A and B are shown apart, each in its own frame.
Chain A
């Protein structure tokens, strides 16, 4: 038994020492060039704006599809593009908005069709690893010693995985998906001069599962109303063949949304559906040409909405 216990401890000790040594090669979380670390920059920009602002919230369709500077000039209001990743989930994004939006702000929710309510837990953990403040957007705060212990374990595990993948995939890091690939507004810009991919990613068969999301969105509307925040809803940019494939399910969802959503919808189902040649690497990510047209369309839709009265004041 003694031999078994001593050898178990020895193995455990070696694992700890090796892991700790590996962490010497880990990058500094605060200065990391990791894509998800860009959330800190976006929040810093929000904090730096004292008055009314326009917040674009949603997934990566916003990162690739919007020229925030144009929106800012058009509406003479500072814009923050908060979009980052659809897999963070709607609950995460809404909790984030509740945390940062202030009286007078205008929120444009641009949601991908395949965004789920709860999102992907691992991505959420990864996001809060680089942006510790984001933990409260997907889990209940747990300040007990167990909660803190679990956080340490989670973070060590993530750091281990990240360090290993940085070593393995260092040469493969796509600069488009890095923190530096985004400009001061939070828009992705690195991809603008790159050729589009021959095969688009994020293709999926969609199902009608929006009921829980509708409730969350309506609750959020009540929150914005009581805090004098304006919120508009739009679908994200979407590639045409994917739209055709999923048309039946999407129409069902859209009818439900039209009937039940309290938030003002500024687009129809097809308004932001674009040809394949407008897309960069996925059915939600626009290229330079697509981005220009989509930004123009977005400006038009916002101008035609009830928000225009506030913006013209």
Chain B
């Protein structure tokens, strides 16, 4: 089931009514309802995928309990490895099996050996990269005694499968989400309204911005050979807004939906395209994944505590693994490596934590220096997105070659002025709301009731007008 579908528009109120009106006074039944609703939500794609999530939940639940009972270091390590192998085993098989097989065969063929093997037709279970990382964080935290394991399987299943964030995050830590299932939830009007506003803004980002940009980005990327450099730049910029609108839109809907049920999820995006350097960008983009890698990979590897070479090695590892997490394709690895190249000079010169606050925090407009930094950072990001979106490395290089040619100075074949205007309006709203958790959170609070409601109706009208066939969210494939 996807958020921008009629199915979800029917599903959500039903679960909401059952949750608050029927089972309001029974926490256990509320949690069970969340599990059932989450499994229905997930099984809507393919009920067979449920077996995976159920198995993964059972393994980590048992490992958690066993870790708590054992003080023996060797046994505890073995239990941790069971969880890692099961979770990464699923991920490796479903996501990376064919990639490794194809590259293995290519490598042997290159050296003259003849190997034949058939790739398997494996369907990638939706959101597997998200929930495996979420359950892994639970076992690792229990192993490090940062968290007491839960003895309630319903609560643990609800934590793993919590439907708002199950398929595309934010990747929640057990330390943050799990305790919320133990607390009695109270309905708060302001929290629920805030949730609805965030859902509305998320839908706007997805349906109006991302899906509209997707139409142009797909046309340009799919037939890149026939377009000039200037058009390809437009395609890449459109893709940048597509992926931002798509993914941050999903996160907004997820966080907003959770609020309706009395849960708090962590922020996943913090206006990344207003970043003044790449380090700031990575503190603002897909925050839950960046911090996951930081805590469970970068720091255990030594982080930036060691010498220069260690810093370089760890930076490359974390960015390349992050790239590979997105998909089994060399394009994602190059995308990760490119970001490591962007990031390294800042890290080595000690400037990676220069911009901790949002740009122009005390001003309405940014300074010329800040504006220039924002544009340069955005340009570098767009350049890296070309690798992310391209079908393969050759395709990306062909696009870059065309961009850095004289055809860059020609009038673009595709220049949708209305859509560009729409993007500018969107960026302006984001700018006005950049000091809040999401753009719409506080912008129109100061409006009187009627103009505020008119602005909601305008957003709803835009969503209805731009919506067609519900488009999958890009990050579901990861």
Q: Chain A interface (Cβ within 8 Å of chain B)?
A: 1, 3-4, 8, 11, 14-15, 18, 121-122, 150, 153, 157, 160-161, 164-165, 199, 203-205, 245
Contact = CB atoms under 8 A, between A and B. Distances in A.
B226 A122 contact: no
A8 B456 CA distance: 12
A14 B457 CA distance: 9
- Interface size band for B: 20 to 34
Contacts, number: 40
A11 B187 contact: no
A203 B226 contact: yes
A144 to B, nearest CB: 15
Nearest to A22: B461
A121 B413 CA distance: 27
A205 B223 contact: yes
A3 B190 CA distance: 11
Contacts of A4: 187, 189, 192-193
B226 A15 contact: no
B456 A245 contact: no
A204 B460 CA distance: 34
Contacts of A164: 461, 465
Given A3-B189, A122-B469, A15 B223 contact: no
Interface in B203-228: 222-223, 225-226
B465 A15 contact: no
11 contacts: A14-B453, A15-B457, A18-B457, A121-B469, A160-B464, A161-B465, A164-B461, A199-B413, A203-B226, A205-B222, A205-B226
A204 B223 contact: yes
B456 A11 contact: yes
Given A15-B460, A122-B468, 9 more contacts: A8-B196, A11-B453, A14-B453, A161-B465, A199-B413, A203-B223, A203-B226, A205-B222, A205-B223
A4 B461 CA distance: 21
| Interface core residue of A4, A153, A204 (most chain B CB under 10 Å) | A4
B6 interface: yes
A160 B460 CA distance: 12
Contacts of B196: 8
Q: Is the interface of B mostly helix, strand, loop or mixed?
A: helix
A80 to B, nearest CB: 30
Nearest to B190: A4
A118 to B, nearest CB: 11
Contacts of B222: 204-205
Contacts of B225: 205
| Interface core residue of B192, B222, B468 (most chain A CB under 10 Å) | B468
B467 interface: yes
B20 interface: yes
A153 B6 contact: yes
A16 B432 CA distance: 30
A266 to B, nearest CB: 30
B226 A157 contact: no
B189 to A, nearest CB: 5
Contacts of A153: 6
B390 to A, nearest CB: 14
B193 to A, nearest CB: 7
Contacts of A205: 222-223, 225-226
Q: Is the interface of A mostly helix, strand, loop or mixed?
A: helix
A157 B193 contact: no
Contacts of B226: 203, 205, 245
A152 B362 CA distance: 50
Interface of B: 6, 20, 187, 189, 192-193, 196, 222-223, 225-226, 413, 453, 456-457, 460-461, 464-465, 467-469
B457 A160 contact: no
Contacts of B187: 1, 4
Contact of A1 (B20, B413, B456): B20
B413 A150 contact: no
B166 to A, nearest CB: 25
Nearest to B225: A205
A271 to B, nearest CB: 24
A13 to B, nearest CB: 12
A205 B395 CA distance: 14
A199 B6 CA distance: 39
Contacts of B456: 11
A116 to B, nearest CB: 13
Nearest to B6: A153
A281 to B, nearest CB: 15
B445 to A, nearest CB: 16
A15 B453 CA distance: 11
B295 to A, nearest CB: 37
B285 to A, nearest CB: 31
Contacts of A157: 464, 467
Contacts of A18: 457
Contacts of B192: 4
6 interchain residue pairs of minimum CB distance: A122-B468, A205-B223, A121-B469, A1-B187, A164-B465, A4-B192
A121 B468 CA distance: 9
Contact of B6 (A8, A150, A165): A150
Contacts of B468: 122
Nearest to A14: B457
A142 B91 CA distance: 39
B440 to A, nearest CB: 15
A160 B465 contact: yes
Nearest to A1: B187
Contacts of B223: 203-205
A36 to B, nearest CB: 15
A165 B226 CA distance: 30
A164 B461 CA distance: 9
B227 to A, nearest CB: 10
Contacts of A150: 6
Nearest to A203: B226
A226 to B, nearest CB: 35
A3 B225 CA distance: 57
Nearest to B193: A4
A165 B462 CA distance: 12
